[in-house]
Amino acid sequence: CSEEFLEVDPIANTLESNYYQTEEEMYAALVASYDPIGWLSGDFVTKLTALNAASDDVYAGGGSSTDVPSLQAVSSYNLTAETGPQSSLWNKGYSGIYRVNTLLVKIEGAEVSEAIKSRYVAEAKFLRAFYYFDLIRLFYSIPLITEPVIPDQMFEVEQDTREAVFKQIEEDLLEAIPNLPDQVNVSVEGGRATKGAAISLLGKVYLELEDYTLAAEQFEKVNGTPGATSPFGYSLLENYADLFRTDNEFNSESIFEVSHSALANGVWDCMPCTEGNIINIMAGPRGYNISNTSAGAPSFVSGYGCFVVTEGLVDAFQLGGGQFDPRYSTTISNVDSLQQAGVVTYEPSYKNTGYFLKKFIGRTEDVTSGGGATELNFPQNNYEMRLADIYLLEAEALVRGGINTTRAQQLLDAVRDRVGLDPVPATFENIMNERRLELAGEGHRWFDLVRTGLAATALKDKGYVEGKHDKLPIPLRELTNTSLVQDPAY
Amino acid sequence: QSVTLSGKVVDSETSDILPGVNILVKGTDRGTTTDLNGEFKLQVSPEDVLVLSFIGYLNKEIQVGNRTSIEVALEYDIETLQEVVVVGYGTQKKKVVTGAISSVSSEDLETLPINNIGQALQGRTSGLTIASNSGQPGEGATIRVRGITTLNNNDPLWIVDGVVVDNGGIGYLNQNDIESIEVLKDAASQAIYGARAAAGVILVTTKSGKSGKITVNYNGYYGSSAPARKLDLLNATEYATLRNESSIAAGNGVIFPDPSSLGAGTDWQDVIFNDNAIRQNHEVSISGGNEVSTFYTSFGYLSQEGIVASDISNYERYNVRLNSTHKINDWITFGQNLGYSREKSVGLGNTNSEYGGPLSSAINLDPITPIYETDPEVLNRAPFTVDSLGAVVAPNGQYYAISPYVQQEMSNPLAYIQTRLGNYGWSNNIVGNAFLEAEPIKGLKIRSTIGIKQSYWGGESYTPVFFLNAATKNNRTSFNRNTNRKTDWNLENTISYTKKIGEHDFSILVGQGAYKDDAAVGVSVTAFGIPADNFDEASLGWSYTAKDTDPGGYENVPHKVSSLFTRLNYNFKEKYLLTAVMRRDGSSNFGSNFRYGYFPSASIGWVASDEDFWPSNKVVNFLKIRGGYGVVGNDQIGKLNFVSTIGGGRNYSFGSSSDSYGLGYSPNSLPNPNLKWEETSQTNIGFEATMLQRLKVNFDWYKKVTNGILQSPDIPGYVGAVNNPAQNIGDMENTGFELELGYNQEIGDFTFSVNGNVSYLQNKVTFLGDGREFLDGGQNFQASTQPITRTAVGQPINSFYGYKILGVFQTQEDVNNHVNSEGKVIQPDAVPGDFIWEDLDDNGEINVDDRDFIGSPVPDWSYGLTVSATYKNFDLTIFGQGVAGNQIFQGLRRLDITGSNYQRAALGRWTGPGTSNDYARLDDVDPNGNFRRPSEFYLEDGDYFRIKNIQLGYTLPESIISVAGINKLRVYVMAENLITFTKYTGFDPEIGGGVFSIDRGIYPQARSIMGGLSLTF
């Protein structure tokens, strides 16, 4: 037979060597670079589920102490190199970085216009910074990879200094910002990086590095005048609850959003391929059933009973005299009391308090009617950064840096005023408390606690050990036959 | 006038005396046998003719005449040495074969209840390790030839009448159509199939017609199957007692205030087992022919109900076959073999899984929950009160109960059955070949063969709205139909020339082949929310909106191989033997750097017993010593692994308009253009001997080394690729020996034969990559984050890996005394009743580094024994088979569901000092990880010996049946899997699959009792 006989047509497979030629293919590479933002692993770990479980706001909950082991481990600070959310979060970050690095290399040879090229490169650099910023905060000591790894050198990669990683993040963002659009048409491009997102992220990086002046400078560019529409067009939504409506994505308060879709027909066989938001089914109380349909009980789906809200968070919402912070009813559902009132029935979760994370409990009206597993195809987006969050971060930077308390007060007031709360002094403590309530369950709390040194106290009851649990262990797989070393605390 | 004739019988060549020779006066039933001195006495008349018969010798007739004493010399039956063996692209006289080949012939298989041809080899051939994948009707067996050759596909290459058929695809064959099966075990025999032979080659030859009168055969049996064994599970009272204890230990208080009030409760095994599962098989064949054409045609039907949840576990198969040959003229022959089968299999889903299905549910469900829910209070609550939730109603109108204690994937198995009724899978196979063979001059044969396997398969399933429990439920109906097809073909052309010059016998073969397979395509459509209440009403014919349908499809990249091969056979006086083979294969699975592989082999043999100096003796009548070395290959590691491909599914949703989400693509993994063949080289030394005329011995020793095993080891996550790139890293070694023994004895009307074989094998992984001591991953078990097996250098592949147990802490003092060499208390948090883990690294704490190799799933020994006896018209065959030296991971209990039922052994748990040293205390939280850690606790010896088949037959005397024009009529009864000797505590110690011997609740083999009839006219 001739040699040709053995050349098989790679049906339904595209070879890398033939790809990355056209604009369409580069767009697919860009989409793939964004994909890990909504990363869901087989162990139910997303950035949001893991960071919530780690915080003092919720317990992992679920059916039992062994349900969703990765989240239980971080919720009770039982982390070991092999158990916990770290391998999923590590893979999320480095998968994104690999795709970004691939895009950056391949776009040089692709037939795309200069305009597209400069925007894609800027987006890729923003994403690389975004992934690295998560990795460096979650793992402390990581390898810095800025090009696709060559097979021969696969096992020789070493951890870099934190300075080098932060420098790269800063550099990527500074290079990205000029070429990113001020705004995007949210109906088709919502979710793609904008100047506002990149500048906010840069501010967060500086804040992490405790460079308060630089941080506040960045945040101010995004925030503009507190309470007004910012230069990039951001403004606080009038109604706090509207932030979490599934029909209100990419609203004026949204700066960078994790986008999900109910249309991708995701199946259990490949959880990372799904586009739905897993937190919706996880947060649903177990066996939730409305027994009195006329009492107006919330239309929650019956779920896995995860993210049981701690008594501590519930207490934080109490204003005294039986009054609750106005954001409470959007944030938390007291399913226990609904059951006691005979309106619903449900099964208690592990570490049950009766309170569940209402912001993210899936609604029956959002259950997909398309193909795939309904559990995996909830559409709700969640915010990586939104204006109120950046207001409070700026306030934090201004107060911690002792820079401008007046503006800090204005920023804090704006956030409180939106929900009808009276001003409180812009102290560090009040700002942190405001962040906790404003952003409860949105995945910021753990980073806030670790960044500000409050973690040891706040998370003590959960088993947090200072000097150890301010980062995750390097996943076991990364240590096997490689040059990486585990954090000494693990 | 009769006289007493005294006589002596000897071997014609050696003059050895022959005891036990049958002597019969022709046309009468008078006769005798020779005694130990080879002598006999018999009353005869001069006109009598004596018929002397003896196994292994030619019959001889002698006219008595006037003699009163006589010495008869019997000639050794050369025919037994004329036996031919199929060797690939031809046959060879058994006497001159130099490779290690095991054969199973049609007689061995006749009337045995073999549903899948793989089973036919179990216990009947040496050098094979075989375990059924499960007892689910229609399931195949896992077959390993001389151990595990590679980390990749270890399924042997099946070649049916010259057509390459993949392992899973041989289910279509009908046992009665099989003439012979040959297993090519050593590289010298395999090399002619070069590229794909490393895991062994199994040649199946189907029957052909013989010229002469038309013969009609019927064989059929009918019977019933039942489970051979039930697990010892706790009854409701015992269960409640243990659950209370475990709950209290975890600080959670009493669950069941009065266990004894619960009585025995429900025996879920009784609920799902069928003690009268019907099994039947019928086959009719017609064969015949004349000088020009011969044919063999057959029809077969087989049906079997499973012993577990028979409604959703059964199998049916129809077979049709036509084989024929035609002489076009004196020197051109045309022939074809064609088999068609239709299979319908209804499977219950998980046949060896801890994640639900009827078996797993029956093992784990609490015995307290009744089959039907009758408690009005419960019936007044959801889901029973809410129709739309889909609580399952039994045919008797009652609701099936839902366990409040055991949920997740475990559900009331009867309710589960209701949700799957009607679902089935089907497959149609047409496998055939056609050949043209020309012999223009004597000894020169030119042959061209085309073989095709055309397969169609698919399935249909309906899913109703159901609520089995809070975690296992479905809120909208769906109906799925999938169909798949593929065409595999191979084309081979060979020229062979055989020439004898003096005492020199030459035969040379040159051939070329092209193969294409694996190009399957399929479509699958699921419609959701269909207006149907059951499978029969379900259809894709309704009109659906696009939103309610989920279409899918796939198209496989084909696998192609292109080959050239040659073989030389030479012998001198059939005494000095030589075979040499060379094959070159090119495979589409490799890049151009290493696309072609060369696979040479050579083997020699010496028939020592033919030498003049060989002493004429009665101990060793025949002896052949042979040895060989060769290299074969394996290219089975998936396709396009040498390049980097772009993969989809990396999508992201942009925009708020609800119908947009972006399709993302990125590389799947890093490329490896240097990917090349795995090479398996093998040395084989063996001998064949006949001793004392009656005892046949066949012995082989081998060493098999695989180099450059294709692997895709986990690469570090920081690389960021989705898949791991394939690499040629890994070496493995198998050494072992095989012994086959056969013995025949004939005493008057009584004949007796024993055939046994035993194989010993050791597997060792020798290299996994520079600095890589073991592979990541391994077999997962439930929610344990540590795998239960590990493939490591110096150990057998997939060895069990876990913690070692030194006993159970009896007292707090024991806890305090369990210290490392520095005096550090190793398990400070343990309490009495917890396992004492061995601190292997002596670091004073128990962590992942304290795991070790604790057992091997692959048996060291596999053996089989067949004893056959006939007396007059009765025949009896007992066939047994067994393995030894492996461990089984007994993982039947679902650990992360705290309410799972226990096996009786749990009653022997630790409850106080001195109560147990091998079963830890029960505690729902289990802080010491007594049960959560993979450990020796779960390992049991996997040794077993099974009486696989006992068969008693009676052949009706010719005088009766000849009246009806019948040549042969035999009736028989048989029992399959009657007794299994084992200490193993699960259902069945025979557990196949990708990794042997992991019991997650395997569907056990059935015990069957059947009656049958075979008829020839």
Radius of gyration of chain A (CA): 23
pLDDT at site B167:
61
> Does the pLDDT of residue A293 top 90, yes or no?
no
Taking alpha carbons only, the member of B124, B103, B249, B116 closest to residue B183 is B103
Q: Determine contact: B665 vs chain A, CB below 8 A.
A: yes
Q: Which backbone phi and psi does A339 adopt, to 5 degrees?
A: -70, -45
Each domain of chain B, given as residue ranges in start order, spans: 3-77, 80-212
CA distance B84 to A206: 84
With cut-offs at 50, 70 and 90, classify the pLDDT of residue B776.
Answer: confident
Taking alpha carbons only, the member of B883, B606, B876, B868 closest to residue B757 is B883
Mean of the per-residue pLDDT values of chain A: 94
Cβ of A369 within 8 Å of Cβ of B528? The answer is: yes
Look up tokens 């046994």; give the residue.
Answer: B756
CA distance B404 to B573: 80
Cβ of B558 within 8 Å of Cβ of A13? The answer is: no
* pLDDT over 90, % of chain B: 62
Q: Say yes or no: domain B80-212 is CATH 2.170.130.10.
A: yes
CB contact burial B974-1008 (16+ within 10 A = b; e otherwise): bbbbbebebebbbbbbbbbbebbbbbbbbbbbbbb
CA distance B11 to B72: 8
- Chain-centroid distance, C-alpha A61: 20
pLDDT at site B1017:
86
Q: Is residue B546 within 8 Å of B513, Cβ to Cβ?
A: no
- Which B-chain residues 758-777 have CB contacts (< 8 A) with chain A? 769, 771-772, 776
Give B167's DSSP letter: G
pLDDT at site A36:
95
> Does the pLDDT of residue B659 top 70, yes or no?
no
- CA of A190 to nearest chain B CA: how many angstroms apart? 4
Cβ of B646 within 8 Å of Cβ of A19? The answer is: yes
> Does the pLDDT of residue B657 top 80, yes or no?
no
Q: Across residues B508-526, what is the average pLDDT? A: 94
Give the CATH number of domain A20-173+453-484; options: 3.30.70.2190, 1.25.40.390, 1.10.240.10, 3.40.190.10.
1.25.40.390
With cut-offs at 50, 70 and 90, classify the pLDDT of residue B660.
Answer: low
Q: Across residues B689-696, what is the average pLDDT? A: 88
Q: How many CB atoms lie within 10 A of CB B182?
A: 23
Nearest CB neighbour to B655, from listed A1, A30, A186: A186
Taking alpha carbons only, the member of A82, A55, A51 closest to residue A69 is A82
CA distance B357 to B411: 8
CA distance B166 to B157: 7
Which of B512, B718, B790, B793 is the best substitution to test chain A (most A C-beta atoms within 10 A)? B718
What are B885-924's pLDDT values in tens digits?
999 999 999 888 889 999 999 999 999 999 999 999 999 9
Q: Is residue B457 within 8 Å of B427, Cβ to Cβ?
A: yes
Nearest CB neighbour to B776, from listed A83, A187, A480: A480
Nearest CB neighbour to A154, from listed B658, B719, B848: B719
B616 versus B701: which is more confidently predicted?
A: B701
Taking alpha carbons only, the member of B938, B931, B899, B986 closest to residue B408 is B899
Whether the CA torsion B272, B273, B275, B280 is positive or negative: it is positive
pLDDT at site B181:
92
- Chain-centroid distance, C-alpha A379: 15
Q: Which range, B12-26, B78-92, B151-165, B329-343, has the best average confidence (pLDDT)?
A: B329-343
CA distance A387 to B13: 106
List chain A residues with CB under 8 Å of B667: 16, 102, 148
Q: Across residues A296-312, what is the average pLDDT? A: 94
pLDDT at site B575:
93
pLDDT at site B478:
93
- Chain-centroid distance, C-alpha B770: 35
Cβ of A63 within 8 Å of Cβ of B408? The answer is: yes
Taking alpha carbons only, the member of A36, A39, A45, A40 closest to residue A73 is A45
- Sequential DSSP letters for B635-672: --S-SSTTS-EEE----B--SSSTT--B---EE-S---
Q: Across residues A431-444, what is the average pLDDT? A: 97
Q: Which backbone phi and psi does B610 adopt, to 5 degrees?
A: -90, -5
Cβ of B652 within 8 Å of Cβ of A259? The answer is: yes
List chain A residues with CB under 8 Å of B639: 8
Q: Across residues B951-970, what is the average pLDDT? A: 88
In this structure, which amino acid lies at residue B258? D
> Which two structure tokens, joined as six digits, stand for A3?
């040699």
CA distance B709 to A111: 40
Look up tokens 């060797």; give the residue.
Answer: B87
| Tally of helices (H runs) and strands (E runs) in chain A | 19, 11
Cβ of A149 within 8 Å of Cβ of B670? The answer is: yes
Q: Longest Cα pair distance anywhere in chain B, in angstroms?
A: 116
Q: Is residue B579 within 8 Å of B532, Cβ to Cβ?
A: no
Q: Is residue B378 within 8 Å of B467, Cβ to Cβ?
A: no
> Which two structure tokens, joined as six digits, stand for B417?
């059955």
pLDDT at site B132:
85
pLDDT at site B119:
80
CA distance B532 to B538: 5
Rounded to 5°, the CA angle B652-B653-B656 comes to 165
CA distance B170 to B179: 15
CA distance B998 to B984: 12
Q: Is residue B370 within 8 Å of B407, Cβ to Cβ?
A: no
**Predicted ipTM beyond 0.90:** yes
- SS3 percent helix, strand, coil of chain B, rounded to 5, is 10, 45, 40
Which of A4, A5, A82 is the best substitution to test chain B (most B C-beta atoms within 10 A)? A5
- Sequential DSSP letters for B815-850: HHH-B-TT--BS-TT--TTSEEE--TT-SSS-SGGG
Cis peptide before B440 (omega within 30 of 0): no
What are B147-201's pLDDT values in tens digits?
899 888 889 999 999 888 876 667 788 888 999 999 999 998 998 888 888 999 9
> Which two structure tokens, joined as six digits, stand for B400?
């099936």
> Does the pLDDT of residue B637 top 80, yes or no?
no
> Does the pLDDT of residue B543 top 90, yes or no?
no
Q: Across residues B547-571, what is the average pLDDT? A: 92
- Sequential DSSP letters for A462-487: GT--TTTTTSPPPPHHHHTTSS----
Sequence ranges of chain A with CATH classification 1.25.40.390: 20-173+453-484
pLDDT at site B753:
92
SS3 call for B911? coil
- β-bridge partners, B888: B940
With cut-offs at 50, 70 and 90, classify the pLDDT of residue B783.
Answer: low
Q: Is residue A299 within 8 Å of A363, Cβ to Cβ?
A: yes
User: Among A484-488, B121-125, B973-977, which is the least confidently predicted range?
Assistant: B121-125
> Which two structure tokens, joined as six digits, stand for A307?
């993210």
CA distance A197 to B308: 59
- β-bridge partners, B224: B278, B1009
Q: Cα(first)–Cα(last) distance of chain B, in Å? A: 41
pLDDT at site B80:
57
Look up tokens 């059955």; give the residue.
Answer: B417
Length of chain B: 1017
pLDDT at site B134:
87
What are B130-152's pLDDT values in tens digits?
888 888 998 888 889 998 998 88
Q: Across residues B373-386, what is the average pLDDT? A: 91
Mean of the per-residue pLDDT values of chain B: 90
**Sheet containing B163-165: which strands, arranged edge to edge?**
B101-105, B178-184, B201-206, B157-160, B163-165
Q: Half-sphere exposure of residue B344, counting CA atoms within 13 Å on the CB side?
A: 13
CA distance B248 to B923: 8
- Sequential DSSP letters for A78-145: ---SSSSSHHHHHHHHHHHHHHHHHHHHHGGGS---HHHHHHHHHHHHHHHHHHHHHHHHHHSS----
CA distance B820 to B651: 53
- CA of B219 to nearest chain A CA: how many angstroms apart? 45
Taking alpha carbons only, the member of B417, B540, B404, B516 closest to residue B470 is B404
List chain A residues with CB under 8 Å of B651: 31, 35, 264, 273, 275
- The topology under which CATH files domain B3-77 is Immunoglobulin-like (2.60.40)
